Amino acid sequence: MMMWAKKRREAKEAKQLLQAAKHARNMREDIADARELETLRQAEEAFCAIMKSGNGNREQVALTLERAIDAIYPFRLRRGARENVEVLIVAVAAAMAIRAFFFEPFKIPTGSMQPTLNGITIETDAERGLFDNPVTKLPQWLLTGASFKEIRAKTSGALGGVRPSRDAIVLTIGGVEHRVPVYMQEALALKRFYREGDVIASGRVITGDQVIVNKLVYNFRAPRRGDVSVFDTRNIAHDQVRANTFYIKRMVGMPSERMQIVGGRLVADGEVVNEPAIFERIATDPAYQGGHGLDGLLRTEADAIELGADEYLMCGDNTLPGMSLDGRFFGGVPRRDFRGPAVFVYWPFREHWGVIR
């Protein structure tokens, strides 16, 4: 029994020593001296040979291997916080590589894709609930993406003015500016006079869907009609489109097609678009609030958008006026500007969590 326990302990120690050698080589081989790396390789081979045969001075060979490891990756560098930091750096580098070449997270900022995907929404009639307290509000938000938000007057005074900015509604109260996020404009409670602490806007804010974009797939297949894709706006010439940002829309028009809207239906080269099935649903299901209605470059049924040989027409699923600034206004998007299709809603854990259809 004692002999079995001894052999098991020796095998465990040998495994740990060989793992330390491998780790030292992985961490330092790009900067270590070539002769020291060769010494380490020979020490590893000698140690493996003596462990396999059981013949020879195991302790001496193990000591030689430990010294070879220490010459490349000194023990003082392998202990404590430094090693943890190095491991963290490697992990971060791997995550950045995955984001750069394979998959990338993206947040839905607006309601242009509702009800397929949600942007930031607010329940204006909501009141502070049981879980809207300092202890439980974070877990609730992490699970559902919902949090109760309240904006109060910082001073007493008359309402001096209301003006919109790009991402907020700015109220001047008693000479002091108060910014209300644009997604809370429906919850504004405008009054002529506010006292300090009065509620300006309140409601339960639900974060937009967070999606994973597959950046690799368009290297192996062409974009398809119906894809919900993310694209760069750098080549879009429209005064309401932010430069160098990203939009997410559905791919409705393919290269070289002549796109029209006739009777509220998308028409490509004279044929009504009803495949894949989502297009039939967008055009007929009241949940989609308007389908692909007339506006922008397609003001009448006679208007058409002629797509170039590498251009795609991108439209939001919710096309009520003001809901989707899309290809009906700015035309086609070059293929080179696509990041890839959105494939999965990973957060919040609500009705849209899962594979995107």
Mean pLDDT, range 2-29, rounded to an integer: 73
Number of domains, the chain: 3
Convert the pLDDT of each residue in 163-181 to its tens digit: 988 788 899 999 999 999 8
In this prediction, residue 97 carries a pLDDT of 52
287 and 169 share one domain: no
- What integer best gives the mean pLDDT of the chain? 83
Q: Which residue has the tokens 């699923």?
A: 317
> Is 107 within a domain?
no
**One domain, residues 300 and 244:** yes
Q: How does residue 230 score in pLDDT terms, banded at 50, 70 and 90? A: very high
**Judging by DSSP bridges, how do beta strands 258-262 and 305-306 pair with one another?**
antiparallel
Q: Are strands 146-152 and 199-206 parallel, antiparallel or unpaired?
A: antiparallel
Looking at residue 81, its pLDDT comes to 47
Q: Which of 187, 206, 225 is the last residue of a domain?
A: 206
Residues 221 and 267 in one domain: yes
Q: What is the DSSP letter of 188?
A: B
Residues 82 and 35 in one domain: yes
Per-residue model confidence (pLDDT) at position 1: 57
Do 230 and 319 fall into the same domain? yes
Whether residue 328 has pLDDT greater than 50: yes
Based on the domain organization, do 183 and 220 belong to the same domain?
no
- Residue 112 resides in a domain: no
CB 171 within 8 A of CB 194: no
Do 197 and 217 fall into the same domain?
no
Say yes or no: 262 and 131 in one domain: no
Q: Which residues contact 356 (CB under 8 A, 6 or more apart)?
A: 116, 117, 211, 228, 342, 343, 344, 345
Q: Among 160, 184, 206, which residue terminates a domain?
A: 206
* Residue 116 belongs to a domain: no
Q: Are residues 127 and 222 in the same domain?
A: no
pLDDT of amino acid 269 = 94
pLDDT tens-digit readout, 282-307: 888 888 876 777 778 988 889 999 99
In which domain, by residue range, is 327 found?
210-355
Question: Are residues 214 and 202 part of one domain?
Answer: no
pLDDT band at 90 (very low <50, low <70, confident <90, very high): low
Read off the pLDDT of residues 246-268 as tens digits, 9 standing for 90 and up. Answer: 999 999 999 999 999 988 889 99
Q: Which of 64, 97, 130 is the last residue of a domain?
A: 97
Query: Does a structural domain hold residue 111?
Result: no
Whether 284 and 186 map to the same domain: the answer is no
Q: Establish if 104 belongs to a structural domain.
A: no
The rounded percent of the chain whose pLDDT value lies above 70 is 89
Check whether 336 has a pLDDT greater than 80.
yes
pLDDT tens by residue, 138-162? 888 888 888 899 999 999 999 998 9
Strands (E), 155-236: 157-164, 168-173, 176-181, 193-194, 199-206, 210-214, 228-232
Cα–Cα nearest to 259, from 223, 308, 222: 308
Cβ neighbours around 249 below 10 Å, total: 23
Q: What's the confidence (pLDDT) of residue 65?
A: 76
Q: pLDDT for 310-324, tens place per residue? A: 999 999 888 776 678
Q: What is the CATH number of the domain that holds 248?
A: 2.10.109.10
162, 199 in Cβ contact below 8 A? Answer: no
For 109-142, what is each residue's pLDDT tens digit?
788 888 889 888 888 888 888 778 877 888 888 8
- Answer yes or no: do 153 and 287 share one domain: no
Q: What is the pTM of this model?
A: 0.68
Q: What is the pLDDT of residue 164?
A: 86
Q: Tell me the pLDDT tens digit for each residue of 241-250.
A: 888 889 999 9
On whether residue 317 sits in a domain, the answer given is: yes
| Structural domain includes residue 103 | no
Q: Kindly state whether residue 223 falls inside one of the protein's structural domains.
A: yes
Residues 6+ apart with CB under 8 A from 176: 154, 155, 157
The average pLDDT across 19-36 equals: 75
Q: Which of 250, 233, 269 is nearest to 312 (CA)?
A: 250
Q: Is residue 38 predicted with pLDDT exceeding 50?
A: yes
What does the pLDDT look like over 58-87, one tens digit per residue? 777 778 777 877 777 775 544 544 455 555
